[in-house]
Amino acid sequence: MPKITRRNFVNGSLLALGSTLLPSMGQRAMASLDPTYYPPSLTGLRGSHPGSNDAAHSRAWGQRADWGAVQSHDEHFDLVIIGAGLSGLAAARFYQQHHGTDKKILILDNHDDFGGHAKRNEHNIDGQRLIGYGGSQSLVEPLHASPVIQALFEDIGVDLKSLETSFDQGFYKRHNLGAVTYFNADTFGRDTLVKHPFCNYYNYIEGLPGAKVSDAAAVAQTPLSEAGKQQLLRVLNGGLHKLPVPEAEREAYSQTHAYFDYLKNTLGVDDPEVLHMARNSGLDWTSSGTELLTIAQAKRCGALGFAPLPVYDENNPYIYHYPDGNASVARALVKKLIPLVAAADTAEALVTARFDYSQLDLEGNPVRIRLNSTAVNVHHVGDPSSSDLVNVQYVQNGQAHEVSAKNVIMACYNMMIPHIVSDLPSHQAEALGQQMKSPVIYTTVGLRNWRAFKDMGIGMAMCPGNWHQAVLMDFPVSLGDYQYTQSPDDPCVIQMISCPYGETLGQSQAEQYKQARYTMLGRQFSDYEADIRIHLSGLLGAKHFNFDRDVASITVNRWAHGYAVAGPGDSVAVGRQPFGRITVANSDSASAADAIEAMMMGHRAVVELD
Ligand SMILES: Cc1cc2nc3c(=O)[nH]c(=O)nc-3n(C[C@H](O)[C@H](O)[C@H](O)COP(=O)(O)OP(=O)(O)OC[C@H]3O[C@@H](n4cnc5c(N)ncnc54)[C@H](O)[C@@H]3O)c2cc1C
């Protein structure tokens, strides 16, 4: 049986308690004007890069419906897909398989790159190109995937076998790198590094050793007050047997009582710093503070005080990773749909290939991908139940355009669909509007060397006091022509992960997401950079690290709408119903923040059109 995975833990779990940019220039214009158009190599604010959500936000928040005169292209497609993420790209390929490769397909996306969350980051470090991932990280338990996905992988050249050997699981042990906790001065009074992770999070990195010191020794090294140290040790030595109920009632009790009540009332924790550690110990298992968890949920995600658990199925380790994460799957799909976009054929060979973006939207190609284009209005011509035409309006560079299609697949964020599909029945619009996405940031930093990590024995640092709660070496994956760093004196990419919870303890998940989104979108790149400077300098120390000397590049991938989080009840199923000539895809419609599920939803959406 597959184990519950990190990103899907949150779904259905939190309800128990009841509570150098290319922003605006049209992609087609850009590609013809500037043959160097190549978004993966951009650094700075990426993910949902500045400008990418402007049209969608003014549609959703400002109810804007008018972008001036609409430029009609007289373009008619068999299928228009909204969203060039894995779900939309896979849907295009499935449509070809069902209806023929001569069918005309247009894929629209508001970003300057395709792939959606499956985002490639390239860092040029003193002339050396290093590849990292800015979002969708690894294929989760792909051996359990349905035959539909297995066949798709074969079709597009994704070879799971090659991924089984490309992840160097011995890397961390060989280099004596482990899981540590960094207590920053700002939150905890003084910068301190302790060789103990104090939670389960590190455990998803295959081959990364855990604590190097005992609980007692680790606690003694923390910068906590004496009372805080005693309390932390009590939490680490705690356990459900301490609950004030007979053994037979423990399980039921832990499913209905709050983790934070257990910490406070059963274990007597009132030290704000220990509670702060506990709150941040779930990271993207919970995507909000652990104060919203029941005791049973906290135990399952290995929050502070619970023993680390195996995260993935022992027969399906978490190693199915391309150097650019699942962006390689997106690239393999695009290559299949638009063969001239790159020279290589397999996903492995494509890892180092430079894509020719000017091929994406060429007249005469059966499949066209139009970037920087936000769909703002999709509606049937005539009665949806008998209509044979759908009009699609999108905004590119502030200008409204219109094309028509026989069918449309909405592979975009589901909660946005009611703002776009203007003739949707109200019960379906309401259901779609209840779907959420949690905010998350994946920052990649290009370092000139990783000597500091080596000297300090850091494979991953939990950072409960920082904006980025985890810092880790990029996964040790060498594939085809791409070689992972072998020497600490060579350049490397590190990953910094932030699940920006709202600051108000106990606020609902939705409120925490909203507050965190405002904060993350309100910050400029210089704010992030200043924060990362202080963070890495504190973590690695002046003896080992000099920010100006060692950091070559920073890419902050902000995902204000990140992991899919299902709405209540049957809202997912109701929301994704076909409507006339329109069907619904995206990982939201599977209620799973998962690449494979996203592609399966693309398949379902195509089948529903048949
Ligand atoms: C940081 C991060 C890490 C993740 N890591 C993993 C992982 O390791 N493994 C895993 O399986 N999953 C992971 N996920 C989950 C991820 O969501 C899925 O893997 C998958 O990439 C989702 O694909 P999708 O096509 O459903 O959605 P998306 O990738 O979100 O694609 C939808 C696209 O539609 C676009 N769009 C939205 N509205 C419009 C509009 N009006 N007009 C035009 N375009 C629009 C969006 O901007 C986006 O580009 C991660 C997600 C994030 C955010």
What pLDDT is recorded for position 8? 66
Q: How far is the CA of 597 from the centre of ligand 1 (A)?
A: 11
Residues 359 and 387 in one domain: yes
In a domain, 218, yes or no: yes
Residue type, 559: W
Q: Give which of 493, 478, 481 is closest to 169, Cα–Cα.
A: 478
160 Cβ contact partners less than 8 Å away, ≥ 6 residues apart? 139, 142, 143, 153, 320
From 395, 412, 472, 520, mutation site for ligand 1 pocket: most ligand atoms within 8 A of C-beta: 412
Residue 33 has pLDDT above 50, yes or no: no
Facing residues of 135 across strands?
A: none
pLDDT value for 6: 65
- Distance from Cα 562 to the centre of ligand 1, integer Å: 7
CA of 488 to the centre of ligand 1 (A): 33
The whole-number pLDDT of residue 300 equals: 87
Together in a domain, 416 and 460? no
Mean pLDDT along residues 511-532: 94
Residue among 136, 395, 419 whose CB has most ligand 1 atoms within 8 A, to mutate: 136
pLDDT in tens, 416-442: 999 999 889 999 999 999 999 999 999
Q: Please report the atom of ligand 1 found closest to the CA of residue 55.
A: 41
Would you state the pLDDT for residue 569?
A: 96
**Do 219 and 265 belong together in one domain?**
yes
The Å distance, Cα 182 to ligand 1 centre, comes to 30
Instruction: Tell me, yes or no, whether 173 lies in a domain.
Output: no
What confidence score (pLDDT) does residue 3 get?
A: 53
Q: Establish if 1 belongs to a structural domain.
A: no
CATH code assigned at 280: 3.90.660
Q: Which of 260-269, 288-297, 372-381, 478-487 has the lowest mean pLDDT?
A: 288-297
| Pair (384, 247) in one structural domain | no
| Of 63, 59, 103, 50, residue with least CA distance to 81 | 103
Query: Using one digit for the tens of pLDDT, what is the confidence trace for 311-331?
Result: 777 778 999 999 999 999 999
What confidence score (pLDDT) does residue 21 get? 35
Which atom of ligand 1 is closest in space to residue 593's alpha carbon? 15
Distances (CA, A) of 90 to 26, 102, 136: 24, 16, 15
Q: Are 412 and 550 contained in the same domain?
A: no
Whether residue 124 sits in one domain with residue 59: yes
Tell me, what CATH number does 349's domain have? 3.50.50.60
Please report, as a single letter, which amino acid is at residue 30: M
For residues 88 and 229, state if they share a domain: no
**How high is the pLDDT of residue 286?**
78
Report yes or no on whether pTM surpasses 0.85.
yes
**What is the mean predicted confidence (pLDDT) over 522-551?**
97
Give the range of the structural domain holding residue 135, as residue numbers without chain letter: 27-164+323-434+579-609
pLDDT at 18: 38
Looking at the structure, tell me whether residues 221 and 84 fall in a common domain: no
Place of tokens 């920087």: 372
User: Of the given ranges (95-109, 278-292, 432-446, 587-601), which has the lowest mean pLDDT?
Assistant: 278-292
Atom of ligand 1 nearest to the CA of 108: 43
27: pLDDT confidence band, cut at 50, 70 and 90? very low
d(CA 229, CA 280): 17
User: What is the structure's pLDDT at 500?
Assistant: 87
The average pLDDT across 587-606 equals 97
Both 49 and 147 in a single domain?
A: yes
Give the binding-site residues of ligand 1, using a 6 Å CB cut-off.
7, 56, 82-88, 108-111, 116-118, 135-138, 140, 326, 374-375, 411-413, 416, 420, 440, 442, 559, 562-563, 586-587, 593-595, 598
Domain match, 182 and 294 both: yes
Residue appearing with tokens 């006339």? 580
Distance 66 CA to ligand 1 centre (A): 27
Is residue 252's pLDDT more than 90?
yes
- C-alpha 450/C-alpha 447 separation (Å) is 7
Average pLDDT over residues 502-506: 81
* Confidence at 23, pLDDT banded by 50, 70, 90: very low
> Pairing between strand 551-565 and 458-462?
unpaired
Q: Which atom of ligand 1 is nearest to the CA of 601?
A: 26
At 28 the pLDDT is: 46
Residue 24 reports pLDDT greater than 60: no
Q: Could you give the percent of the chain with pLDDT greater than 90?
A: 83
Q: Please tell me whether residues 290 and 329 are part of one structural domain.
A: no
- Predicted confidence at residue 309, as pLDDT, reads 76
Average pLDDT taken over every residue of the chain: 92
- C-alpha 117 to ligand 1 mean position (Å): 4
Q: Is residue 595 part of a domain?
A: yes
Q: Which amino acid residue places its CA nearest to atom 13 of ligand 1? A: 136
Inform me whether the pLDDT recorded for 20 exceeds 60.
no
Please provide residue 115's backbone torsions phi and psi, each rounded to the nearest 5 degrees: 110, -20
Specify if 9 maps to a domain: no
**Lowest mean pLDDT across 286-300, 412-426, 567-581:** 286-300
> Would you say residue 17 lies in a domain?
no
142 is a domain residue: yes
**Are residue 301 and residue 351 in the same domain, yes or no?**
no
If one counts the domains in the chain, the total is 2
- Ligand 1 centroid, distance to 411 Cα (angstroms): 9
Whether 16 maps to a domain, the answer reads no
